Amino acid sequence: MKYLLTGGAGFIGSHFCEFLMKNGHRVVVIDNFNDYYSPRIKKQNVKGFQNNPQVELIAGDILDTELLDRIFEQHEFDAIVHLAARAGVRPSLSQPMLYERVNIQGTMELLERAKIYNTPKFVMASSSSVYGNNKKVPFSEDDPVDNPISPYAATKKACELVGYTYHHLYEMNITCLRFFTVYGPRQRPDMAIHKFTKLIAKGEPIPVYGDGTTRRDYTFITDIVNGIAKSVENCDGYHIYNLGESRTIELHALIALIEESYGKKAIIDRQPMQPGDVNCTYADISKARNQIGYNPTVDIRDGIPQFVDWFKTNQTH
């Protein structure tokens, strides 16, 4: 198959590109290498495939309509996996218009071309953040998600709605994946596990927002990659799936696990809860299990040591 993969130099995208490459697929990767975090990290991420003949790596933006037109004119894609986005809850509070442009308009630019060029399958990244402070746990795809509490979450919900519209109007096959806090080697440096590990390594205080009892459903990168692959295989009609581990861990227990794996104690700096943060994320993955065969296998007690091992080898990056 031939894939268009957006955001392929990022954490999840680079792992998925390597998966596609190893399984004999051809991939056109587009990534703008923006400075949300160091472009040097993204350049390191793509080293595993940038010179592979199966992969064409394009440094460009999904808002560049002329570039998108050229790409779609030159290639006939079997599937689009759309992972490019402005990420992060807190930065979206200070740059809401940027998030709206990249996440919503960027998605619509791709959907429009998928429509024009009759791309059979379109899989896009959504987020567990769409659930907001959902009182019912675990979170099910059938739960109401009409109360996002950050601009980032609102853009992801909007993308799901736009995806449904294109499916309804043009009978396109579209799947939206609600990722639950993905971690593992190459995790973005702004995310908690990476940030905490780095601060512990440097002997600097960890900012802990709230009393340490907030809970997250952390999902290891290999499980997410397998979930994306299963979603492409089964992309037929319009679907939304949770991709999580369906287990939660409290923040203070997560920090203790990193301490144990790194072999060094953390210095805790307690801070108030931040606007846009949610108290708990917890995925009901029964729909993804039953419909696409998603089956996460990496427990966080195994995943954190793997991340810490990677960090110790790559912490200069």
Task: Confirm if 157 and 145 have CB atoms less than 8 A apart.
Answer: yes
* pLDDT at site 290: 98
Whether 36 sits among the annotated catalytic residues: the reply is no
Domain extent listing, the chain: 2-314
* pLDDT at site 311: 97
pLDDT tens readout for residues 243-256: 999 999 999 999 99
Q: Which of 99, 152, 183, 282 is an active site residue?
A: 152
Closest to 190 measured CA to CA, from 17, 41, 81: 41
Question: What amino acid occupies position 185?
Answer: P
Q: How far apart are CA 246 and CA 296, in angstroms?
A: 9
* pLDDT at site 134: 87
Task: Confirm if 56 and 64 have CB atoms less than 8 A apart.
Answer: no
Using 50 as the pLDDT threshold, list the residues of the chain that sit under it.
316-317
CA distances from residue 296 to 16, 71, 204, 219, 292 in whole angstroms, order as listed = 16, 34, 33, 8, 12
* pLDDT at site 315: 78
**Which residue in this structure is represented by tokens 């853009």?**
155
pLDDT tens readout for residues 4-32: 999 999 999 999 999 999 999 999 999 99
* pLDDT at site 317: 45
* pLDDT at site 36: 87
Kindly state which CATH superfamily the domain 2-314 is placed in: NAD(P)-binding Rossmann-like Domain (3.40.50.720)
Backbone angles phi, psi at 151, to 5 degrees: -55, -40
* pLDDT at site 25: 98
Closest to 278 measured CA to CA, from 130, 158, 138: 130
